[in-house]
Amino acid sequence: MEDNKKLIADFLAQKNIAVAGISLSRETPANMIFKKMKKAGYTVFAVNPKGGTYDEHPCYTGLGSIDPRPDGVVIVTRPEVTANLIDECIHLGITRVWIHNMMGIVKNGKPGSASSVDTAAVQKGREAGLTIISGSCPMQFVPPVDIFHRCIRWVSGKTGKL
């Protein structure tokens, strides 16, 4: 559990973060994470393969089109898309990745509900030298943390999923 806290602290110490999985048509966890990180002072890049704009910010079609290169990526996509994004991170040298998983860190290869985790992609990324938080949600840690996410963080900590 202590290692995960260090990984989270290191990830959140970065200032240029891409959020992959932004929706242009509805509010999703990716959109909420984007807004929360933006409000907390991060330089946040929206990623949607169709481009467009979200909340008056351009959406990049891929990580390679972002300049300057982000320090980290939050992935909030379907697991099969996560695998492609991990490949892109490896190719671009983006070494910090946070894969969203609403109900906590993956244990024994099993992601929680509302998960973007692809366990094979996580293994591939780690073998390539990426630092990957394979679960949890940045909204549990980016201040100010709302009561809902504080409760999830507390439960995850008590159950060893943090």
Residue 89 has pLDDT above 50, yes or no: yes
* 81 or 107, which is more confident: 81
Domains and CATH numbers, the chain: 2-158 (3.40.50.720)
Report the chain's mean pLDDT, rounded to a whole number: 88
For 25, phi then psi, to 5°, come to -115, -15
For range 29-54, the mean pLDDT: 96
Residue 144 has pLDDT above 80, yes or no: yes
Separation of alpha carbons 60 and 63, rounded Å:
7
Average of pLDDT values for 113-137? 88
Instruction: Give me the residue label for tokens 């073998």.
Output: 127
Instruction: Give the span between the Cα atoms of 139 and 33, in whole angstroms.
Output: 6
What is the Cα–Cα distance from 112 to 106, expressed in whole angstroms? 7
Contact between 107 and 119 under an 8 Å Cβ cutoff? The reply is no
| In 2-146, alpha helices (H) | 2-12, 29-39, 79-92, 119-127
Q: Who contacts 27 (Cβ-Cβ below 8 Å, separation ≥6)? A: none
